[in-house]
Amino acid sequence: MIILYHNHYRITQAISSAGHTISHEVNQNITHGILRLASQYPDEILVWCHESLAESLNIGRIESLFHHHRFLFSYQPKGQYLGRELGYIEDSPYVQVNKTVRYATWQMSSVVGAVHASVLNVTLCKPESNFDYFLNSLAKRAMPQGIFCYSEPQLLSAASISQPTPQATLFQLFRFTKQHYKTRWVFLLFFNLILFEKRWAILPLLRCLCYQKRRVSGNPWESVYSTSVKNIVSSGTIDVLIPTMGRKNFLRNVLSNLAAQTHLPVNVIIIEQNPEPDSISDLNFIQKESWPFTIKHQFTHQSGACNARNMGLALVESEFCFMADDDIVFENDLLAKALHHFTTTGNEVFLVACHLPNQKVETQAPKQFPVFGAGHAFVKSSCVRDIRFRMGYEFGFGEDNDFGMQLRYNGYDILYISTSKILHLKAPIGGFRTQPVLRWQQQKVLPKPSPTLMLFRLLYDTKEQLRGYKTTLFFKNITKRFFINPIHCIKTFNQKWNASVYWAQQLKKE
């Protein structure tokens, strides 16, 4: 391990883990210096730290964070380099960072951080004089290619009273937008700054148009060592959780798939729903046929995926849980491969590729994923002991992503694994299933977007993200009618938006 201390501009001290000073890098630009050291010491972990935090650097913890090489860690105790305005263009869970836990984000900082040299040695980044810009540019492009990027508070053993908080200028933010997003986003950023903050960023807009988009050809990080030495598998037992409603034959096929697994589940938890008051279970084959696992079957008259999954989570006993749908098809080694993925990634949560019959899955390296899907997820059971699906989403949209955000805010990342696949049949709904009448459907002004979608935004978006979403939603819904009577269209849009906010706040209380 090599540690670089700096003053935001130059390296002030470079020390190896053995205590030797690397004097030739002192007073050099940070980016140039760390790239040279990566080339000279390709098997080392490279650490950077602002000199004011030298006493707080948690040196003894850093090596254990790297249970494989595909990591990029940093931590900025307050704020982020690209600032709150990033929310106007970035619609992802990587903006609102929880500073108290390890949190997946491509937003990096020069304050303190660490990376394995092998990640930098295949980097095709221009060695920026601004180290913060270099780190954010690197992470923004490397994260989709399988480099795991995190805000990691364990890099520091204690918070400093005077914490350095580097901040990008508007010129740097516009440049970053032009180089890492589609060009239209620079104009949306410009428009949002005028609309919501009355800031006319004309010069940053014009200046950024001179820059070209930074692209990644292929996956240059494919050769970086990625097999974890972290041991998160003990007993290797798996429970399967399946909510179902009126799809008897499809469910039976899923059970047959599970019975053919090379690694059998211990328990299959089935939560059967039928809202008809006098109804009884339709799953007679559960008792009539013999299964190589225990089936925990519960029947309820209360319909709704959130309630059903919460009932099922309370019954999970095994080390891992496979959260599945009742209309899927998969190979007989799915569970065995799942344990392999837990072992090789060292991660507690992942989604396997889920595709429709007419879709093909592109094979990629395991990577961090911005969404969660409760129909094709594998989780370590200890991660969900205190997490439940929020009932405010019942009969709407967003409960899966909300569950994923709860996992993130508890310090667990979500990976996407493309080498295991599930075919989603999208079976027709059961014959007795009826569409519930939602409270807002009887109102004079119908909310838009859906209150459940708005609920997710109110819970997890920054103010700037919510504003940016409102702008893009407005543009997406412009029709010919707008050009006939724009004032009326804007007024109607705001009324529907406000109605959505109102009902989302009501759902938030549930």
Q: List, in order, residues 6 or more apart from 502 with CB less than 8 Å away.
A: 447
Structural domain includes residue 501 = yes
Going 499 to 502 to 507 to 510, the CA torsion angle's sign is: negative
Q: Where are the alpha helices (DSSP H) in 181-301?
A: 184-197, 202-208, 248-259, 285-288
- Token pair 């005028």 in the structure block, residue: 194
Beta-carbon contacts of 437 under 8 Å, excluding residues fewer than 6 positions away, are none
In a domain, 396, yes or no: yes
In a shared domain, residues 334 and 368 = yes
Q: Supply the CATH number for residue 373's domain.
A: 3.90.550.10
- Residue ending a domain, among 393, 424, 455, is 424
Q: Which amino acid is at 108?
A: M
Chain-centre distance for alpha carbon 60? 28
| Residue 210 is assigned to a structural domain of this protein | yes
Tell me if 67 sits within 8 A of 228, measured CB to CB.
yes
Q: Torsion-angle region of residue 240: left (phi > 0), alpha (psi -120 to 50) or beta?
A: beta
Residues 211 and 308 in one domain: no
- Answer yes or no: do 179 and 243 share one domain: no
State the residue range of the domain holding 214: 1-226
> Residue type at 90?
E
- State residue 439's pLDDT score: 83
- Residue 186 shares a structural domain with residue 261: no
Cα distances from 374 to residues 155, 176, 297, 404, 507, in angstroms, run 32, 34, 19, 9, 21
Nearest Cα neighbor of 455 from 401, 408, 376, 386 is 401
3-state secondary structure 402-416: HHHHHHHHCCCCCEE
Check residue 351 and give its pLDDT: 98
335, amino acid identity: L
Does residue 46 sit in the same domain as residue 122? yes
Give the total number of structural domains in the chain. 3
Q: Say yes or no: 289 and 409 in one domain.
A: yes
User: What are the phi and psi torsion angles at 426 (to 5°)?
Assistant: 50, 55
Classify residue 433: in a domain, yes or no.
no
DSSP state of 429: P
Domain membership flag for residue 232: no
Same domain, 119 and 183: yes
Residues 445 and 380 in one domain: no
Instruction: List C-alpha distances in Å: 380 to 47, 255, 437, 466.
Output: 31, 21, 36, 32
For residue 137, being part of any structural domain is answered with: yes
Residue reference for tokens 């938890």: 269
pLDDT of residue 219: 84
- Average pLDDT, 10 consecutive residues per value, the chain (510 residues): 94 87 88 94 95 92 96 95 96 96 97 96 82 96 96 87 82 97 97 97 97 88 91 96 93 96 98 89 91 96 93 97 96 97 97 94 94 96 95 90 97 96 84 65 89 96 97 92 90 95 91
For the chain, how big is the Rg over CA atoms in Å? 25
Q: Are residues 143 and 291 in the same domain?
A: no
Nearest residue to 109 via CA among 132, 127, 90, 129 = 132
Cβ atoms 346, 228 nearer than 8 A: yes
The verdict on residue 233 lying in a domain is no
Last residue of a domain, one of 179, 196, 226: 226
416/445 same-domain check: no
Domain's final residue, options 398, 424, 450: 424
Question: If 0-12 CB within 10 Å is exposed, 13-18 middle and 19+ buried, where does residue 218 land?
Answer: exposed
Per-residue pLDDT, 431 = 43
Sign of the torsion angle spanned by Cα atoms 60, 47, 37, 51 = negative
Examine residue 307 and state whether it is found in any structural domain, yes or no.
Answer: yes
221 plus 252 within the same structural domain = no
- Kindly state whether residues 467 and 404 are assigned to the same domain: no
